């Protein structure tokens, strides 16, 4: 059997791993949002390529940053993950619609969002068990 100190250490390590993993998609999302707000020519041409009007660029940048902020706040992190799933699902659908192989990127970011949350939020782990526990 594991001692309670070993369980606490393991739990602490899981929480820190979750924080680090959660930081990766948040940094990517903030970078993406800042690029949308700055509207460099590459972003504008990308939106034209995907068939979206230029007027949506800052709106999507604000929405992206807002979802990331909601995800960062511990009390609202589950809501933030749900909102980011919807946002990234839209990005995935946009890429898939044009047969763009870059659809993998928003999927990977979404996986990191949920993996980080699962590791840093102990209350979420019973809802998504990664392995079945056998009780005697």
The rounded distance, in Å, linking the Cα atoms of 53 and 10 is: 48
Written as six digits, the tokens of 122 are 């102990």
- Cα angle: 102, vertex 93, 73; to 5 degrees: 90
How far is residue 61 CA from its own chain's centroid? 15
pTM of the model: 0.84
Tokens representing 15 are 């929480």
Question: How far, in Å, CA of 65 to CA of 60, rounded?
Answer: 9
The number of C-alpha atoms within 13 Å of 82 and in the hemisphere containing its C-beta is 4
Domain boundaries, the chain: 4-120
d(CA 75, CA 80): 10
Give the up-direction half-sphere exposure of residue 16: CA atoms within 13 A in the CB hemisphere: 6
Block means of pLDDT (10 residues each) for the chain, length 136 residues? 48 90 97 96 93 94 97 95 97 94 95 94 80 64
- Distinct helix (H) and strand (E) counts, the chain: 5, 0
| Residue 74: strand, helix, or coil | helix
Q: Annotate 74-126 with three-state secondary structure.
A: HHHHHHHHHHHHHHHHHHHHHHHHCCCHHHHHHHHHHHHHHHHHHHHCCCCCC
């Amino acid at each position: 059997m594991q001692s309670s100190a070993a369980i606490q250490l393991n739990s602490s390590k899981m929480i820190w791993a979750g924080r680090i993993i959660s930081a990766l998609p948040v940094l990517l999302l903030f970078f993406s949002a800042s690029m949308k707000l700055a509207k460099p020519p590459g972003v504008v041409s990308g939106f034209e390529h995907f068939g979206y009007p230029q007027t949506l660029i800052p709106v999507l940048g604000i929405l992206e940053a807002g979802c990331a902020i909601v995800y960062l706040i511990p009390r609202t992190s589950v809501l933030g993950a749900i909102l980011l799933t919807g946002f990234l699902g839209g990005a995935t659908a946009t890429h898939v619609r044009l047969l763009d192989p870059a659809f993998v990127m928003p999927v990977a970011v979404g996986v990191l969002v949920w993996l980080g949350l699962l590791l840093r939020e102990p209350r979420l782990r019973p809802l998504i068990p990664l392995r079945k526990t056998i009780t005697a």
